[in-house]
C-alpha cells in the first residue's frame, strides 16, 4: 500500500483552518482520554461475560448509532479503490474486532507488566508504518519529543516501582507478551490506515464503516468460540454499561478521533493517543464503583505533565512538519 506521490495535504490553498484543524493533536488526545472511560463500564460486565461477548454487543450498538451516517455516506464509497477497501477492511478486522480481544486476553494471564510495557511499542510501530505506508517523515527534533512522551506514560503506569517491569518481564509468559504485542501492532496500524482512508472518505463514513464491517467478523468469532450459547449469558443489568461503552468510548470518541485525525499526521496522532493509558490510570484511582481505589504517586503527576507538554508542543509545531505523502486518484 505504498503511496507514490508527494502532494502535501497541508498545501491545499482552499483548505480552511478551523478549531478542529488548529487543535487536532489535542483533540486526538481528548478522544483517547474518552476511550479510558471504557474501564469503568467494562468492569461491570467482565465478571460474567467473555471479551468477545462484550465487544460484539458494543460494536452492534455503535453500528446502530452510526447507521444514518453510513447511509448518507454510501455515495462516497465510489471514491474507494482496491487499496481503500483493503485499508478500511483491515481497520474493521484488526483494530476494531481483534485488537481489544487480544489485549484483554493478555491481561487474563495476570502478567500486567508485560502487557503495559509491550503496549508502549504502539507509537513506535505506528511511526514505522506511517513512514512505509503514508511516507510521513519527521524532523530530528521529533524523536526526543516522542521519547519524552513515552517516558512520561511509563512514569504514570509504573509509578509505584519504576524498575518493576524489567524484573517482571524476566519471569513472564511468552503468550501474554505476544497477545499484548499483537494488540499494539493492530492499534498502531489502525491509526495509519485510518489516516490513509480519510484522504478519500469523510470522518463520519470512516467511523461507520469501521464498526459496521467489524460486526460480522465479531459474530463469527463469538459463535466459533461459544457456539449456540454465545448469547445466553447477558443480563438485564448489562443494558446501562453497554450503553455507556457504546456512547462514550465508542460512538462519541471515535467520531471525534477520526475528525481530528483528518488534520493530524499519523506520527503525531499516535503520540497523542498515549493519553489513553494515562487517563485509564487516573480512572483506576477513583473509589468503587467508578475505579479501583489505586493510590496515586508523585511520578504520575510528573509523567502526566510531560505528556501534556509534548502534546501541546506537537500541536503547536504541526504545521511545520514535512508534507504527508498521499495517494492520488488514478488517471482515467
Q: What is the DSSP string of 248-281?
A: IIIIIHHHHHHHHHTTS-HHHHHHHTTHHHHHHH
What mean pLDDT value characterizes the chain? 83
C-alpha cell of residue 220: 463469527
Where is average pLDDT lowest: 11-15, 295-299, 319-323? 11-15
**How many whole angstroms separate alpha carbon 126 and alpha carbon 266?**
7
Q: How confident is the model at residue 324 (pLDDT cuts 50, 70, 90)?
A: very low
**pLDDT given at position 108:** 64
pLDDT in tens, 213-271: 999 999 999 999 888 788 888 999 999 999 999 999 999 999 999 999 999 999 999 99
What is the C-alpha separation between 226 and 200, in angstroms, rounded? 38
Sign of the CA dihedral with 152 first, then 157, 161, and 162 last = negative
Question: Is the predicted pLDDT of residue 29 greater than 90, yes or no?
Answer: yes
Model pTM?
A: 0.84
* Contact between residue 201 and residue 253 where contact means Cβ atoms under 8 Å apart: no
Q: What are the tens digits of pLDDT across the range 201-219? A: 999 999 999 999 999 999 9
- What gap in Å lies between CA 73 and CA 68, rounded to an integer? 9
Q: Which of 7, 13, 101 is closest to 49 using CA atoms?
A: 101
Tell me if 70 sits within 8 A of 77, measured CB to CB: no
C-alpha cell at 50: 467473555
| Residues found in the chain | 332
Residue 7 has pLDDT above 70, yes or no: no
In tens, the pLDDT along 86-117 reads 999 999 999 988 987 887 777 666 655 566 66
Query: Under 8 Å CB-to-CB from 325, ≥6 apart: which residues?
Result: 3, 5, 6, 7, 134, 135, 136
Amino acid at each position: 500500500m505504498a503511496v507514490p506521490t508527494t502532494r502535501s495535504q497541508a498545501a491545499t490553498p482552499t483548505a480552511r483552518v478551523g478549531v478542529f484543524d488548529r487543535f487536532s493533536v489535542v483533540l486526538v488526545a481528548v478522544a483517547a482520554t474518552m476511550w479510558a472511560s471504557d474501564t469503568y463500564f467494562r468492569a461491570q460486565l467482565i465478571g460474567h461475560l467473555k471479551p468477545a461477548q462484550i465487544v460484539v454487543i458494543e460494536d452492534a450498538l455503535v453500528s446502530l448509532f452510526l447507521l444514518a451516517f453510513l447511509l448518507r455516506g454510501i455515495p462516497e464509497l465510489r471514491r474507494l479503490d482496491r487499496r481503500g477497501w483493503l485499508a478500511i477492511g483491515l481497520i474493521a478486522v484488526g483494530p476494531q474486532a481483534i485488537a481489544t480481544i487480544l489485549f484483554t486476553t493478555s491481561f487474563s494471564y495476570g502478567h500486567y507488566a508485560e502487557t503495559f510495557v509491550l503496549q508502549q511499542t504502539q507509537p513506535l510501530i505506528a511511526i514505522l508504518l506511517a513512514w512505509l505506508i503514508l511516507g510521513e517523515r519527521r524532523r530530528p527534533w521529533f524523536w526526543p519529543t516522542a521519547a519524552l512522551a513515552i517516558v512520561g506514560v511509563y512514569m504514570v503506569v509504573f509509578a509505584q516501582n519504576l524498575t518493576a517491569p524489567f524484573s517482571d518481564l524476566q519471569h513472564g509468559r511468552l503468550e501474554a507478551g505476544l497477545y499484548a504485542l499483537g494488540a499494539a501492532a493492530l492499534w498502531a496500524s489502525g491509526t495509519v490506515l485510518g489516516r490513509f482512508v480519510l484522504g478519500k472518505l469523510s470522518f463520519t463514513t470512516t467511523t461507520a464503516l469501521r464498526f459496521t464491517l467489524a460486526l460480522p467478523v465479531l459474530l463469527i468469532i463469538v459463535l466459533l468460540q461459544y457456539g449456540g450459547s454465545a448469547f445466553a449469558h447477558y443480563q438485564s443489568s448489562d443494558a446501562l454499561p453497554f450503553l455507556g461503552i457504546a456512547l462514550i468510548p465508542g460512538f462519541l470518541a471515535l467520531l471525534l478521533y477520526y475528525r481530528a485525525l483528518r488534520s493530524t499526521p499519523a506520527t503525531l496522532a499516535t503520540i497523542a493517543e498515549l493519553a489513553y493509558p494515562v487517563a485509564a490510570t487516573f480512572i483506576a484511582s477513583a473509589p468503587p464503583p467508578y475505579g479501583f481505589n489505586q493510590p496515586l504517586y508523585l511520578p504520575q503527576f510528573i509523567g502526566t505533565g510531560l505528556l501534556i507538554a509534548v502534546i501541546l508542543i506537537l500541536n503547536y509545531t504541526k504545521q511545520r512538519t514535512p508534507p504527508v505523502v498521499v495517494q492520488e486518484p488514478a488517471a482515467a
